[in-house]
Amino acid sequence: MKASFDVITIFPNFFSAYLNEGILKKAIHKGLLDVKIHNLRDYAVDKHKTVDDYPYGGGPGMVFKIEPIYNAVESIKADGVERVTILLSPVGKLYTQETAKNLLMLNKRLLLICGRYEGVDERVRELIVEEEISIGDYVLTGGELPALVIIDSITRLVPGVLGDDMSCLEESFTTGLLEYPHYTRPAEFKGLKVPDVLISGNHQQIKRWRRQEALRRTFIRRSDLIREKELSPEDLEFLRQLKNTDSKV
């Protein structure tokens, strides 16, 4: 399994810094990630390489024209490889860890279209795009950061990308809970001690402590994530006790 992407953008240089560092760089070298960046201006239909125009009806800002996007998508798809075409947009469906997992499981190349300015001509949605994704309820200047968010979050789920494949199994959201707290050396800093159980060497107790801290943290910070149906009787008892106490995490 590998993660593979095409990205359409007017800022192709934007991507190299992020893709050429750390885990993503290694993933590319291992052949587990493939990203091709396409410059939208190469698909403009006039000699000035125009990709945007004034909005019909007036108003501020510019809008990406449909022809360059249409031409870019047609040209990219000409290789016959199966793809899902996705528009990055604040009005899209909210992106979650579940979305990342589902998109990876499709086992298809993802074609990400990055908007700028006021966004794209509405007909891009009607004619070209299969999915529309927002990475959060805020507005960025362009779709490049959202594209990198999607590339990063999907790539780290590909087996072999992380040093230890178990790391992504216990992470926040993957288990339906926020992750438990982590500590490393020193064992004490400015009077704050690492919990004794983590130094005890008792793996059973460590596992239990981590589960309970994940439950506590999720209950306090994001109780909307808790799906009681998926919890064990021991989890439910712990939650019941939590509800009767004042905790802060």
Cα gap 153→136, rounded to integer Å? 14
Name which position in 21, 53, 54, 136 contacts ligand SAM (CB under 6 A).
136
Nearest to ligand SAM of 116, 156 (CB atom) = 116
Size of the site for ligand SAM (CB under 6 A): 20
Contact status: 134 vs ligand SAM (CB under 6 A)? yes
Stretch that binds ligand SAM, among 18-26, 129-137, 169-177, 232-240 (CB under 6 A): 129-137
Name which position in 3, 8, 73, 88 contacts ligand SAM (CB under 6 A).
88
Name which position in 83, 109, 116, 156 contacts ligand SAM (CB under 6 A).
116
Name which position in 29, 47, 56, 91 contacts ligand SAM (CB under 6 A).
91
Map the footprint of ligand SAM across residues 144-203, applying CB under 6 A: 146
Contact status: 115 vs ligand SAM (CB under 6 A)? yes
Closest CA to 129 of 81, 93, 80: 93
Nearest to ligand SAM of 121, 213 (CB atom) = 121
Contact status: 56 vs ligand SAM (CB under 6 A)? no
Stretch that binds ligand SAM, among 5-13, 86-94, 184-192, 198-206 (CB under 6 A): 86-94
Name which position in 42, 67, 118, 179 contacts ligand SAM (CB under 6 A).
118
DSSP letter string, the chain: --EEEEEEES-GGGGHHHHTSHHHHHHHHTTSEEEEEEEGGGG-SSTT---EEPPTT--SS-EE-HHHHHHHHHHHHTT---EEEEEEEEEEEEP-HHHHHHHHHTTSEEEEE--BTT-B-HHHHHHT-SEEEESSSS--SBSHHHHHHHHHHHHTTSTTSSSSGGGGTSSTTTTSSPPPP---S-SEETTEEPPHHHHS--HHHHHHHHHHHHHHHHHHH-GGG--GGGS-HHHHHHHHHHHTS----
Contact status: 55 vs ligand SAM (CB under 6 A)? no
Contact status: 140 vs ligand SAM (CB under 6 A)? yes
Bridge partners of residue 58, in order along the sequence: none
Residues that bind ligand SAM (CB under 6 A): 88-91, 114-116, 118-120, 134-136, 138-143, 146
